[in-house]
């Protein structure tokens, strides 16, 4: 999910706020285009500077790559990937309004290759058979799905693929993955994980 829960009134605000219910594409051919997402009092988008760091880690040009965003929220990571040349981006969310908004933005921006679906992340990862070059993981901070989420996501990685993981606490790499990069911005911990050399692919053709 491309949002994190707002801090409690007694907690310091970890990030500057965007204008209500909007976030901007920060790179590629749609740079500067505004993404609007359904209103939610408890959620807000991840800051631009975190996404900037992420795409510096991945390389600014994602030409021909495939991505998966199981907790899409605004879908901005999928839209960013397509803006930067990705061939296909699968964006999942359980909220049908969020899924419809992501699909509409891709249409308005002229971004081909989006596959936006209403789906549960765990169910999809447990049943799907495809592989992806990049998997974006940003579940709700109140959840703690990491013990099952990282291994399931790793099973869908293409050779030389990467997992981006954003959490409210620091994560450790599970067996089969290594921590390639990590950073912190306020209360947001973000990580880039890659397969350990020689790790067999567990799923997919």
Find the domain containing 20 and state its range: 3-195
Cα–Cα distance between 17 and 169 in angstroms, integer? 20
Does some domain include residue 202?
Answer: no
- Contact predicate 187/159, CB 8 Å: no
Does some domain include residue 203?
Answer: no
Residue written as tokens 């419809």?
100
CATH code, 147 = 3.40.50.150
Give the pLDDT confidence score for residue 39 in this predicted structure: 75
- Averages of pLDDT over each 10 residues, the chain, 205 residues: 39 41 92 86 69 94 96 94 98 94 96 97 95 95 93 95 96 97 94 86 44
Give the pLDDT confidence score for residue 132 in this predicted structure: 98
Does some domain include residue 190?
Answer: yes
Please count the structural domains in the chain. Answer: 1
Does some domain include residue 95?
Answer: yes
25 Cβ contact list (under 8 Å, min separation 6): 31, 32, 33, 35, 76, 79, 80, 83, 109
The tokens for 16 are 């500057």
**Burial class of residue 191 in the structure, from the number of CB atoms within 10 Å of its CB (0-12 exposed, 13-18 middle, 19+ buried):** buried
Does some domain include residue 201?
Answer: no
Residue 26: alpha-carbon gap to chain centroid: 15
> CA angle, corner 176, sides to 175 and 181, nearest 5?
95
Does some domain include residue 177?
Answer: yes
Give the pLDDT confidence score for residue 21 in this predicted structure: 82
């Amino acid at each position: 999910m491309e949002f994190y829960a707002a801090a409690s009134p007694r907690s310091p605000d970890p990030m500057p706020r965007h204008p209500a219910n909007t976030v901007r594409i920060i790179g590629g051919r749609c740079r500067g285009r505004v993404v609007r997402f359904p209103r939610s009092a408890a959620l807000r988008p991840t800051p631009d500077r975190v996404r900037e760091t992420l795409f510096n880690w991945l390389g600014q040009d994602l030409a021909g790559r495939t991505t998966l965003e199981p907790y899409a929220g605004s879908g901005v990571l999928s839209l960013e990937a397509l803006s930067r040349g990705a061939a296909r981006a699968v964006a999942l969310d359980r909220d049908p309004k969020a899924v419809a908004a992501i699909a509409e933005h891709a249409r308005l921006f002229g971004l081909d290759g989006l596959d936006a679906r209403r789906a549960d992340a765990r169910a999809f990862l447990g049943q799907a058979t495809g592989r992806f070059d990049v998997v974006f993981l940003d579940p709700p901070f109140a959840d703690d799905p990491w013990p099952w989420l990282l291994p399931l996501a790793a099973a869908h990685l293409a050779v030389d693929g990467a997992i981006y993981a954003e959490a409210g606490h620091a994560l450790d790499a599970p067996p089969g993955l290594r921590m390639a990069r990590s950073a912190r911005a306020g209360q947001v911990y973000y990580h880039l994980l890659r397969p350990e050399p020689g790790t067999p692919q567990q799923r997919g053709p």
